[in-house]
Amino acid sequence: MAVHLLERLATEAIGLAADALEVEYKDGFEEVFVSIGQIGFCITRFESSSDAAVRLREACDRLSRQKHPRRISVDGLEYGLRCSTSDSFGEDAFQLTLRPSPRTQADGVAAARRPALRPEV
């Protein structure tokens, strides 16, 4: 069940064309941020004592110890999900990278992540 929560958050981040997902503790909450290039913003937060926050931390911790990325499928495209851990003021912080899988067709990935072109004036 914890993996499902992490996959749902990763799917939402991919839908926003994010490169990364971060989970950090702040003021009694586990906050989930997405990063799109140099821009980042919070998409959700869970009270740190809640079951969802505990499951999310456990899933991130398990993923950070895996040698190979976890594969997830979003809209028919495959992505690799990796996690690293860092210290943030004495608490574990998790950084998840979201990368298109080499198995996925390059045209499909480019089309899914490319912003719409504006006509030249």
Q: And the tokens for 66?
A: 């895996």
CB atoms within 10 A of CB 39: 8
Q: Is the pLDDT of residue 108 over 60?
A: no
E strand spans, 3-120: 20-26, 29-36, 39-47, 70-74, 77-88, 91-100
Query: What pLDDT, in 10s, does the model give residues 7-56?
Result: 899 999 988 989 899 999 999 999 999 999 889 999 999 999 999 999 99
Model confidence pTM above 0.85: no
Q: What is the pLDDT of residue 113?
A: 52
Q: How far apart are the first and last CA of the chain?
A: 51
Angle at 78 between CA 23 and CA 33, to 5 degrees: 15
